[in-house]
Amino acid sequence: MRSAPTILHLDMDAFFASVEQASKPSLRGKAVVVGGLGPRGVVATASYEARVFGVHSAMPMALARRRAPNAAYLVPRFGFYRSISEQVMRLLRALSPLVEPLSLDEAFVDLEAGGAARDAESARLVGARLRADIRAVTGLTGSVGLAASKMLAKIASEQAKPDGLVLIEPGTEQALLGPMPVRTLPGVGPATGDHLRRAGIHTVGELAEAGEDELVRLLGKAHGHALYAMALARDERPVVAEREAKSVSVEDTYDVDIHDRTRIGLEVRRLADRCVRRLREAGLSGRTIVLKVRRYDFSTLTRSETLRGPTDDPAVVREAAARLLDSVDTTGGVRLLGVGVSGLADYTQEDLFAQAAGERADGPAEEPRDAPRAGSPTGEAAAPAERRWPAGHDVRHAEYGHGWVQGSGLGRVTVRFETPRSEPGRVRTFRVDDPDLEPAEPLPLVPCGPGDAGPSGTDTGTAEATCAAPGQRAWSGRG
Protein backbone atom coordinates (compact mmCIF):
# COMPACT_ATOMS: atom_id res chain seq x y z
CA MET A 1 0.00 0.00 0.00
CA ARG A 2 1.15 3.58 -0.61
CA SER A 3 3.01 5.66 1.91
CA ALA A 4 1.02 8.83 1.03
CA PRO A 5 -2.75 9.50 0.77
CA THR A 6 -2.68 10.10 -2.99
CA ILE A 7 -5.83 8.22 -3.97
CA LEU A 8 -8.85 10.51 -4.05
CA HIS A 9 -12.49 9.46 -4.00
CA LEU A 10 -15.11 12.01 -5.01
CA ASP A 11 -18.80 11.49 -4.25
CA MET A 12 -21.22 14.23 -5.26
CA ASP A 13 -23.73 14.98 -2.51
CA ALA A 14 -27.25 13.61 -3.22
CA PHE A 15 -26.44 14.27 -6.87
CA PHE A 16 -29.77 13.99 -8.71
CA ALA A 17 -31.71 15.71 -5.93
CA SER A 18 -29.06 18.43 -5.59
CA VAL A 19 -29.25 19.14 -9.33
CA GLU A 20 -33.02 19.52 -9.03
CA GLN A 21 -32.71 21.85 -6.05
CA ALA A 22 -30.11 23.95 -7.87
CA SER A 23 -32.40 24.14 -10.91
CA LYS A 24 -35.52 25.01 -8.94
CA PRO A 25 -35.22 27.81 -6.34
CA SER A 26 -38.55 26.88 -4.76
CA LEU A 27 -37.16 23.45 -3.77
CA ARG A 28 -33.97 24.60 -2.07
CA GLY A 29 -33.83 23.46 1.53
CA LYS A 30 -36.87 21.20 1.03
CA ALA A 31 -37.36 17.45 0.76
CA VAL A 32 -36.87 16.26 -2.83
CA VAL A 33 -37.16 12.68 -4.07
CA VAL A 34 -36.10 11.69 -7.59
CA GLY A 35 -37.17 8.41 -9.16
CA GLY A 36 -39.93 6.49 -10.89
CA LEU A 37 -43.33 7.86 -9.96
CA GLY A 38 -45.40 4.86 -11.08
CA PRO A 39 -46.69 2.09 -8.81
CA ARG A 40 -43.49 0.10 -9.36
CA GLY A 41 -41.14 3.07 -9.20
CA VAL A 42 -38.16 3.22 -6.88
CA VAL A 43 -36.19 6.10 -5.38
CA ALA A 44 -33.06 7.02 -7.34
CA THR A 45 -31.89 9.77 -4.97
CA ALA A 46 -33.32 11.62 -1.99
CA SER A 47 -32.15 15.00 -0.76
CA TYR A 48 -30.73 15.24 2.74
CA GLU A 49 -33.96 16.93 3.83
CA ALA A 50 -35.90 13.86 2.65
CA ARG A 51 -33.48 11.46 4.33
CA VAL A 52 -34.51 12.89 7.69
CA PHE A 53 -37.85 11.09 7.14
CA GLY A 54 -36.15 7.78 6.37
CA VAL A 55 -36.28 8.02 2.58
CA HIS A 56 -33.28 6.52 0.79
CA SER A 57 -32.23 5.28 -2.64
CA ALA A 58 -33.63 1.94 -3.91
CA MET A 59 -36.66 2.31 -1.63
CA PRO A 60 -40.07 1.64 -3.26
CA MET A 61 -41.59 4.98 -4.17
CA ALA A 62 -44.88 4.06 -2.48
CA LEU A 63 -43.06 3.67 0.86
CA ALA A 64 -41.19 6.94 0.31
CA ARG A 65 -44.50 8.76 -0.22
CA ARG A 66 -45.82 7.36 3.05
CA ARG A 67 -42.73 8.47 4.95
CA ALA A 68 -42.47 11.91 3.35
CA PRO A 69 -45.88 12.80 1.93
CA ASN A 70 -45.02 16.49 1.53
CA ALA A 71 -41.78 16.02 -0.40
CA ALA A 72 -41.44 17.02 -4.06
CA TYR A 73 -41.44 13.88 -6.25
CA LEU A 74 -39.70 14.32 -9.60
CA VAL A 75 -38.97 12.20 -12.66
CA PRO A 76 -35.19 11.97 -13.39
CA ARG A 77 -33.62 14.11 -16.13
CA PHE A 78 -30.77 11.75 -16.95
CA GLY A 79 -29.52 13.66 -19.97
CA PHE A 80 -29.05 16.76 -17.84
CA TYR A 81 -27.36 14.78 -15.05
CA ARG A 82 -24.93 13.31 -17.59
CA SER A 83 -24.00 16.76 -18.90
CA ILE A 84 -23.19 17.97 -15.37
CA SER A 85 -21.35 14.74 -14.59
CA GLU A 86 -19.12 15.32 -17.60
CA GLN A 87 -18.21 18.78 -16.27
CA VAL A 88 -17.10 17.17 -13.01
CA MET A 89 -15.21 14.37 -14.76
CA ARG A 90 -13.29 16.90 -16.83
CA LEU A 91 -12.09 18.51 -13.62
CA LEU A 92 -10.90 15.11 -12.40
CA ARG A 93 -9.14 14.31 -15.67
CA ALA A 94 -7.25 17.59 -15.38
CA LEU A 95 -5.69 16.18 -12.20
CA SER A 96 -4.64 12.76 -13.49
CA PRO A 97 -4.82 10.43 -16.49
CA LEU A 98 -6.04 7.71 -14.12
CA VAL A 99 -9.69 8.49 -13.35
CA GLU A 100 -12.02 5.58 -12.60
CA PRO A 101 -15.69 6.63 -12.74
CA LEU A 102 -18.02 4.40 -10.74
CA SER A 103 -21.21 6.20 -11.72
CA LEU A 104 -22.35 9.65 -12.83
CA ASP A 105 -21.56 11.11 -9.42
CA GLU A 106 -18.64 9.07 -8.10
CA ALA A 107 -15.03 8.39 -9.14
CA PHE A 108 -11.54 7.49 -7.96
CA VAL A 109 -8.48 9.54 -9.00
CA ASP A 110 -4.82 8.56 -8.75
CA LEU A 111 -3.22 11.90 -7.86
CA GLU A 112 0.28 10.46 -7.89
CA ALA A 113 -0.05 9.31 -11.52
CA GLY A 114 -0.82 12.87 -12.60
CA GLY A 115 1.86 14.48 -10.44
CA ALA A 116 -0.85 16.42 -8.63
CA ALA A 117 0.17 15.29 -5.14
CA ARG A 118 3.05 13.49 -3.45
CA ASP A 119 2.28 13.74 0.26
CA ALA A 120 -0.55 14.45 2.68
CA GLU A 121 -0.22 18.23 2.53
CA SER A 122 -0.27 18.47 -1.25
CA ALA A 123 -3.12 15.93 -1.46
CA ARG A 124 -5.23 17.96 0.97
CA LEU A 125 -4.64 21.12 -1.07
CA VAL A 126 -5.69 19.32 -4.27
CA GLY A 127 -8.84 18.01 -2.59
CA ALA A 128 -9.81 21.43 -1.27
CA ARG A 129 -9.19 23.05 -4.65
CA LEU A 130 -11.24 20.38 -6.42
CA ARG A 131 -14.22 20.96 -4.16
CA ALA A 132 -14.00 24.71 -4.81
CA ASP A 133 -13.74 24.16 -8.58
CA ILE A 134 -16.76 21.84 -8.59
CA ARG A 135 -18.82 24.46 -6.79
CA ALA A 136 -17.65 27.18 -9.19
CA VAL A 137 -18.34 25.14 -12.34
CA THR A 138 -21.57 23.37 -11.36
CA GLY A 139 -22.92 25.16 -8.31
CA LEU A 140 -23.03 21.78 -6.53
CA THR A 141 -21.11 20.23 -3.65
CA GLY A 142 -19.05 17.07 -3.49
CA SER A 143 -17.38 15.18 -0.67
CA VAL A 144 -13.74 14.14 -0.99
CA GLY A 145 -11.88 11.29 0.68
CA LEU A 146 -8.08 10.95 0.52
CA ALA A 147 -6.15 7.87 1.56
CA ALA A 148 -3.46 5.41 0.52
CA SER A 149 -5.95 2.92 -0.95
CA LYS A 150 -9.25 2.90 -2.79
CA MET A 151 -11.14 1.25 0.06
CA LEU A 152 -10.00 3.82 2.60
CA ALA A 153 -10.54 6.76 0.25
CA LYS A 154 -14.15 5.71 -0.23
CA ILE A 155 -14.65 5.29 3.52
CA ALA A 156 -13.14 8.76 4.02
CA SER A 157 -15.50 10.40 1.50
CA GLU A 158 -18.46 8.78 3.26
CA GLN A 159 -17.26 10.27 6.54
CA ALA A 160 -16.88 13.65 4.83
CA LYS A 161 -20.53 13.85 3.74
CA PRO A 162 -22.05 16.22 3.08
CA ASP A 163 -19.75 18.82 1.51
CA GLY A 164 -16.56 17.93 3.35
CA LEU A 165 -13.05 16.53 3.05
CA VAL A 166 -11.49 13.76 5.13
CA LEU A 167 -7.87 12.60 4.80
CA ILE A 168 -6.73 9.36 6.40
CA GLU A 169 -3.06 9.56 7.33
CA PRO A 170 -1.01 6.44 6.52
CA GLY A 171 -0.38 4.48 9.69
CA THR A 172 -3.72 5.37 11.29
CA GLU A 173 -5.88 3.07 9.16
CA GLN A 174 -6.36 0.15 11.54
CA ALA A 175 -7.12 2.37 14.52
CA LEU A 176 -9.74 4.12 12.40
CA LEU A 177 -11.30 0.94 11.03
CA GLY A 178 -11.34 -1.02 14.30
CA PRO A 179 -14.55 0.33 15.87
CA MET A 180 -16.44 0.59 12.58
CA PRO A 181 -19.26 -1.90 11.84
CA VAL A 182 -18.37 -4.74 9.47
CA ARG A 183 -20.87 -3.38 6.92
CA THR A 184 -18.42 -0.51 6.37
CA LEU A 185 -16.20 -2.81 4.31
CA PRO A 186 -16.95 -3.31 0.61
CA GLY A 187 -18.40 -6.74 -0.10
CA VAL A 188 -20.16 -7.02 3.26
CA GLY A 189 -23.86 -6.87 2.45
CA PRO A 190 -26.88 -7.71 4.59
CA ALA A 191 -26.46 -11.49 4.25
CA THR A 192 -22.74 -11.53 5.07
CA GLY A 193 -23.29 -9.00 7.85
CA ASP A 194 -25.96 -11.20 9.45
CA HIS A 195 -23.74 -14.28 9.11
CA LEU A 196 -20.88 -12.50 10.88
CA ARG A 197 -23.20 -11.12 13.55
CA ARG A 198 -24.41 -14.62 14.38
CA ALA A 199 -20.76 -15.57 14.80
CA GLY A 200 -20.31 -12.73 17.28
CA ILE A 201 -18.40 -10.45 14.89
CA HIS A 202 -19.80 -6.92 14.78
CA THR A 203 -16.87 -4.57 14.13
CA VAL A 204 -13.91 -4.47 11.75
CA GLY A 205 -11.61 -4.87 14.74
CA GLU A 206 -13.39 -8.08 15.75
CA LEU A 207 -13.11 -9.24 12.15
CA ALA A 208 -9.32 -8.83 12.29
CA GLU A 209 -9.15 -10.55 15.70
CA ALA A 210 -11.10 -13.55 14.40
CA GLY A 211 -8.19 -14.40 12.14
CA GLU A 212 -7.93 -15.45 8.53
CA ASP A 213 -8.59 -19.15 9.12
CA GLU A 214 -11.83 -18.48 10.98
CA LEU A 215 -13.08 -16.10 8.27
CA VAL A 216 -12.29 -18.66 5.57
CA ARG A 217 -14.25 -21.25 7.55
CA LEU A 218 -17.20 -18.90 7.94
CA LEU A 219 -17.29 -17.30 4.49
CA GLY A 220 -15.29 -19.46 2.13
CA LYS A 221 -11.77 -19.14 0.80
CA ALA A 222 -12.04 -16.16 -1.55
CA HIS A 223 -14.36 -14.03 0.59
CA GLY A 224 -12.59 -14.91 3.84
CA HIS A 225 -9.14 -13.99 2.52
CA ALA A 226 -10.43 -10.73 1.02
CA LEU A 227 -12.25 -9.59 4.17
CA TYR A 228 -9.31 -10.37 6.41
CA ALA A 229 -7.03 -8.26 4.21
CA MET A 230 -9.50 -5.38 4.26
CA ALA A 231 -9.85 -5.62 8.05
CA LEU A 232 -6.09 -5.05 8.21
CA ALA A 233 -6.48 -2.07 5.84
CA ARG A 234 -4.73 -3.91 3.00
CA ASP A 235 -6.02 -2.90 -0.41
CA GLU A 236 -3.69 -2.97 -3.40
CA ARG A 237 -6.30 -2.36 -6.11
CA PRO A 238 -5.08 0.22 -8.63
CA VAL A 239 -7.14 3.07 -10.03
CA VAL A 240 -8.13 1.91 -13.52
CA ALA A 241 -8.94 4.44 -16.23
CA GLU A 242 -12.42 4.34 -17.74
CA ARG A 243 -12.99 1.22 -19.80
CA GLU A 244 -14.75 1.14 -23.15
CA ALA A 245 -18.41 0.17 -23.13
CA LYS A 246 -19.06 -3.52 -23.79
CA SER A 247 -22.72 -3.08 -24.72
CA VAL A 248 -25.46 -0.54 -25.32
CA SER A 249 -28.96 -1.30 -24.09
CA VAL A 250 -32.29 0.22 -23.12
CA GLU A 251 -35.17 -1.21 -21.12
CA ASP A 252 -38.59 -0.18 -19.83
CA THR A 253 -40.51 -1.35 -16.77
CA TYR A 254 -44.29 -1.18 -17.07
CA ASP A 255 -46.72 -0.13 -14.38
CA VAL A 256 -49.22 -2.75 -15.56
CA ASP A 257 -48.20 -6.08 -17.05
CA ILE A 258 -48.59 -6.18 -20.84
CA HIS A 259 -50.50 -9.18 -22.18
CA ASP A 260 -51.31 -8.20 -25.74
CA ARG A 261 -48.76 -9.77 -28.08
CA THR A 262 -49.10 -7.03 -30.70
CA ARG A 263 -48.42 -4.33 -28.14
CA ILE A 264 -45.40 -6.25 -26.83
CA GLY A 265 -44.05 -6.40 -30.38
CA LEU A 266 -44.52 -2.65 -30.81
CA GLU A 267 -42.68 -2.01 -27.53
CA VAL A 268 -39.76 -4.18 -28.63
CA ARG A 269 -39.63 -2.30 -31.95
CA ARG A 270 -39.58 1.05 -30.13
CA LEU A 271 -36.84 -0.14 -27.75
CA ALA A 272 -34.76 -1.35 -30.70
CA ASP A 273 -34.97 2.10 -32.28
CA ARG A 274 -33.93 3.79 -29.02
CA CYS A 275 -31.01 1.39 -28.71
CA VAL A 276 -29.86 2.21 -32.24
CA ARG A 277 -30.05 5.93 -31.52
CA ARG A 278 -27.70 5.41 -28.57
CA LEU A 279 -25.36 3.34 -30.73
CA ARG A 280 -25.17 6.05 -33.37
CA GLU A 281 -24.72 8.84 -30.84
CA ALA A 282 -21.69 6.92 -29.53
CA GLY A 283 -20.39 6.22 -33.04
CA LEU A 284 -20.63 2.46 -32.44
CA SER A 285 -22.13 -0.65 -34.02
CA GLY A 286 -22.51 -4.20 -32.74
CA ARG A 287 -22.84 -7.81 -33.80
CA THR A 288 -24.99 -9.37 -31.08
CA ILE A 289 -28.63 -8.38 -30.51
CA VAL A 290 -30.01 -9.18 -27.05
CA LEU A 291 -33.64 -9.27 -25.93
CA LYS A 292 -34.54 -9.19 -22.22
CA VAL A 293 -38.01 -10.14 -20.98
CA ARG A 294 -39.12 -10.11 -17.35
CA ARG A 295 -42.41 -11.93 -17.03
CA TYR A 296 -45.36 -11.50 -14.69
CA ASP A 297 -43.83 -13.94 -12.18
CA PHE A 298 -40.50 -12.00 -12.07
CA SER A 299 -38.70 -14.70 -14.06
CA THR A 300 -36.24 -13.02 -16.45
CA LEU A 301 -35.33 -14.45 -19.84
CA THR A 302 -32.63 -13.28 -22.22
CA ARG A 303 -32.29 -14.28 -25.86
CA SER A 304 -29.50 -13.28 -28.23
CA GLU A 305 -28.62 -13.50 -31.92
CA THR A 306 -25.19 -12.83 -33.39
CA LEU A 307 -25.02 -11.31 -36.86
CA ARG A 308 -22.29 -11.87 -39.44
CA GLY A 309 -20.84 -8.42 -38.78
CA PRO A 310 -21.44 -5.23 -36.77
CA THR A 311 -24.43 -3.05 -37.60
CA ASP A 312 -26.13 0.17 -36.56
CA ASP A 313 -29.03 -0.34 -38.96
CA PRO A 314 -32.38 0.10 -37.17
CA ALA A 315 -34.17 -2.31 -39.50
CA VAL A 316 -31.62 -5.04 -38.80
CA VAL A 317 -31.88 -4.58 -35.02
CA ARG A 318 -35.70 -4.43 -35.13
CA GLU A 319 -35.95 -7.61 -37.20
CA ALA A 320 -33.48 -9.48 -34.98
CA ALA A 321 -35.30 -8.39 -31.79
CA ALA A 322 -38.62 -9.48 -33.31
CA ARG A 323 -37.21 -12.90 -34.14
CA LEU A 324 -35.93 -13.25 -30.58
CA LEU A 325 -39.35 -12.28 -29.22
CA ASP A 326 -40.93 -15.08 -31.25
CA SER A 327 -39.03 -17.58 -29.09
CA VAL A 328 -40.39 -16.22 -25.79
CA ASP A 329 -43.71 -17.20 -24.22
CA THR A 330 -45.42 -14.03 -22.97
CA THR A 331 -48.83 -15.58 -22.28
CA GLY A 332 -48.92 -14.55 -18.63
CA GLY A 333 -47.84 -10.98 -19.34
CA VAL A 334 -44.57 -9.07 -19.13
CA ARG A 335 -43.46 -6.37 -16.69
CA LEU A 336 -40.13 -5.41 -18.32
CA LEU A 337 -38.68 -5.43 -21.83
CA GLY A 338 -35.17 -4.56 -22.96
CA VAL A 339 -33.15 -4.53 -26.16
CA GLY A 340 -29.36 -4.37 -26.26
CA VAL A 341 -26.45 -4.63 -28.66
CA SER A 342 -23.07 -6.09 -27.70
CA GLY A 343 -19.92 -7.11 -29.54
CA LEU A 344 -19.32 -3.42 -30.19
CA ALA A 345 -17.14 -1.96 -32.93
CA ASP A 346 -16.54 1.51 -34.32
CA TYR A 347 -17.48 0.58 -37.88
CA THR A 348 -20.24 -1.21 -39.84
CA GLN A 349 -20.25 -3.43 -42.89
CA GLU A 350 -23.61 -2.24 -44.22
CA ASP A 351 -25.52 -4.57 -46.54
CA LEU A 352 -22.93 -7.37 -46.51
CA PHE A 353 -24.59 -8.84 -43.44
CA ALA A 354 -28.00 -7.16 -43.36
CA GLN A 355 -30.68 -9.55 -42.17
CA ALA A 356 -33.71 -7.33 -42.39
CA ALA A 357 -36.30 -8.14 -45.01
CA GLY A 358 -38.03 -5.62 -47.23
CA GLU A 359 -37.29 -1.92 -47.44
CA ARG A 360 -34.52 -0.76 -45.09
CA ALA A 361 -34.97 2.36 -43.02
CA ASP A 362 -32.55 5.22 -43.59
CA GLY A 363 -32.30 5.86 -39.86
CA PRO A 364 -33.87 4.96 -36.56
CA ALA A 365 -37.52 5.79 -36.30
CA GLU A 366 -37.94 8.76 -34.00
CA GLU A 367 -40.55 8.44 -31.32
CA PRO A 368 -42.99 11.39 -31.40
CA ARG A 369 -42.46 13.62 -28.40
CA ASP A 370 -46.12 13.54 -27.46
CA ALA A 371 -46.76 9.86 -28.18
CA PRO A 372 -48.07 8.00 -25.11
CA ARG A 373 -45.84 5.15 -24.02
CA ALA A 374 -46.57 2.13 -21.92
CA GLY A 375 -43.86 2.72 -19.35
CA SER A 376 -40.24 3.63 -18.71
CA PRO A 377 -37.18 2.49 -16.74
CA THR A 378 -38.29 4.75 -13.92
CA GLY A 379 -41.82 3.38 -13.78
CA GLU A 380 -43.65 6.50 -14.98
CA ALA A 381 -47.41 6.36 -15.58
CA ALA A 382 -48.79 5.47 -18.99
CA ALA A 383 -51.42 8.19 -19.43
CA PRO A 384 -50.64 10.55 -22.32
CA ALA A 385 -50.68 13.66 -20.13
CA GLU A 386 -48.21 12.15 -17.66
CA ARG A 387 -45.95 10.98 -20.42
CA ARG A 388 -45.95 14.34 -22.10
CA TRP A 389 -45.41 16.39 -18.96
CA PRO A 390 -43.22 14.41 -16.50
CA ALA A 391 -42.99 15.99 -13.06
CA GLY A 392 -39.83 18.07 -12.72
CA HIS A 393 -39.09 18.35 -16.44
CA ASP A 394 -38.50 21.65 -18.18
CA VAL A 395 -41.06 23.57 -20.21
CA ARG A 396 -41.32 26.97 -21.87
CA HIS A 397 -44.44 29.11 -22.24
CA ALA A 398 -44.71 31.74 -24.94
CA GLU A 399 -45.80 34.38 -22.40
CA TYR A 400 -44.40 33.27 -19.03
CA GLY A 401 -41.02 31.89 -20.11
CA HIS A 402 -39.10 28.98 -18.61
CA GLY A 403 -40.52 26.73 -15.92
CA TRP A 404 -40.88 23.15 -14.76
CA VAL A 405 -43.77 20.75 -14.37
CA GLN A 406 -45.09 20.38 -10.83
CA GLY A 407 -47.67 17.80 -11.89
CA SER A 408 -50.27 16.86 -14.46
CA GLY A 409 -53.49 14.92 -14.75
CA LEU A 410 -57.14 15.22 -15.71
CA GLY A 411 -56.18 17.13 -18.82
CA ARG A 412 -54.28 19.85 -16.92
CA VAL A 413 -50.62 20.57 -16.27
CA THR A 414 -49.31 22.73 -13.43
CA VAL A 415 -46.10 24.66 -14.02
CA ARG A 416 -43.89 26.71 -11.72
CA PHE A 417 -42.09 29.46 -13.64
CA GLU A 418 -38.57 29.96 -12.31
CA THR A 419 -34.96 29.48 -13.37
CA PRO A 420 -31.76 28.52 -11.52
CA ARG A 421 -30.94 32.20 -10.97
CA SER A 422 -34.39 33.61 -10.28
CA GLU A 423 -36.41 33.94 -7.11
CA PRO A 424 -38.96 31.18 -6.38
CA GLY A 425 -41.54 31.52 -9.13
CA ARG A 426 -45.29 31.60 -9.50
CA VAL A 427 -47.44 28.58 -10.29
CA ARG A 428 -49.94 28.45 -13.17
CA THR A 429 -52.12 25.71 -14.61
CA PHE A 430 -52.80 25.06 -18.30
CA ARG A 431 -54.55 22.58 -20.53
CA VAL A 432 -52.17 19.75 -21.50
CA ASP A 433 -52.67 20.71 -25.16
CA ASP A 434 -52.07 24.45 -24.65
CA PRO A 435 -50.29 25.54 -27.87
CA ASP A 436 -48.20 28.12 -25.98
CA LEU A 437 -46.62 25.46 -23.73
CA GLU A 438 -43.87 23.17 -24.98
CA PRO A 439 -41.08 20.98 -23.55
CA ALA A 440 -37.74 22.76 -23.15
CA GLU A 441 -34.07 22.01 -22.56
CA PRO A 442 -32.72 22.48 -19.00
CA LEU A 443 -30.97 25.74 -18.20
CA PRO A 444 -27.33 25.75 -17.02
CA LEU A 445 -26.93 25.79 -13.25
CA VAL A 446 -24.06 28.28 -13.42
CA PRO A 447 -23.94 31.25 -15.84
CA CYS A 448 -21.45 30.98 -18.69
CA GLY A 449 -21.76 34.35 -20.34
CA PRO A 450 -25.22 35.88 -20.84
CA GLY A 451 -27.58 34.25 -18.39
CA ASP A 452 -31.26 33.59 -18.69
CA ALA A 453 -33.28 36.68 -18.02
CA GLY A 454 -35.67 35.11 -15.55
CA PRO A 455 -39.02 33.38 -15.94
CA SER A 456 -40.19 35.61 -18.77
CA GLY A 457 -36.80 36.28 -20.37
CA THR A 458 -35.74 35.33 -23.85
CA ASP A 459 -32.33 33.77 -23.23
CA THR A 460 -33.17 30.13 -22.45
CA GLY A 461 -29.79 28.40 -22.47
CA THR A 462 -29.51 24.64 -22.84
CA ALA A 463 -27.96 21.68 -21.12
CA GLU A 464 -25.24 21.84 -23.76
CA ALA A 465 -24.07 25.27 -22.61
CA THR A 466 -21.60 24.26 -19.94
CA CYS A 467 -19.00 26.25 -18.07
CA ALA A 468 -15.30 25.68 -18.43
CA ALA A 469 -13.25 24.62 -15.46
CA PRO A 470 -10.83 27.23 -14.14
CA GLY A 471 -8.02 27.53 -16.68
CA GLN A 472 -9.89 25.49 -19.31
CA ARG A 473 -11.55 26.48 -22.56
CA ALA A 474 -15.34 26.41 -22.55
CA TRP A 475 -16.78 23.22 -24.01
CA SER A 476 -20.20 22.30 -25.28
CA GLY A 477 -21.62 18.90 -26.08
CA ARG A 478 -23.66 16.14 -24.57
CA GLY A 479 -22.19 14.25 -21.64
Which H/E stretch holds residue 424? none
Estimate to the nearest angstrom the gap between the alpha carbon of 223 and the chain centroid: 28
- Whole-number Å distance between alpha carbons of 370 and 393: 14
The answer for residues whose C-beta is within 8 angstroms of residue 19's C-beta and 6 or more apart is 77, 80, 81, 84, 140, 445
How far apart CA 265 and CA 448 sit, in angstroms, is 45
Question: Residue ranges of the alpha helices (H) in 27-146?
Answer: 48-51, 61-67, 78-93, 120-138
Sequence-distant (6+) residues with CB within 8 A of 121 are none
Specify whether the CB–CB gap between 108 and 102 falls below 8 A: yes
> Which residues are 344's β-sheet partners?
286
How many residues are present in the chain?
Answer: 479
218 class by beta-carbon count within 10 Å (0-12 exposed, 13-18 middle, 19+ buried): middle
Question: Which residues are designated catalytic?
Answer: 106
The helix or strand, by DSSP H or E, that contains position 371, with its residue range, turns out to be: none
The sign of the dihedral angle between the CA atoms of 429, 434, 436, 442 is positive
CB 136, CB 156: distance < 8 Å: no
CA dihedral 367, 370, 372, 375 (to 10 degrees): 70
Instruction: Assess contact for 364 and 277: CB atoms under 8 A.
Output: yes
- Distance between CA atoms of 160 and 128, rounded to whole angstroms? 12
Residue type at 280 in one-letter notation: R
Burial of 5 (0-12, 13-18, 19+ CB in 10 A): buried
Rounded distance between C-alpha atoms, residue 264 and residue 252, angstroms: 11
Half-sphere exposure of 458 (CA within 13 A, CB side): 0
DSSP state at residue 149: S
Q: Determine phi and psi for 306, rounding to 5 degrees.
A: -100, 125
Neighbours of 465 (CB within 10 A): 19
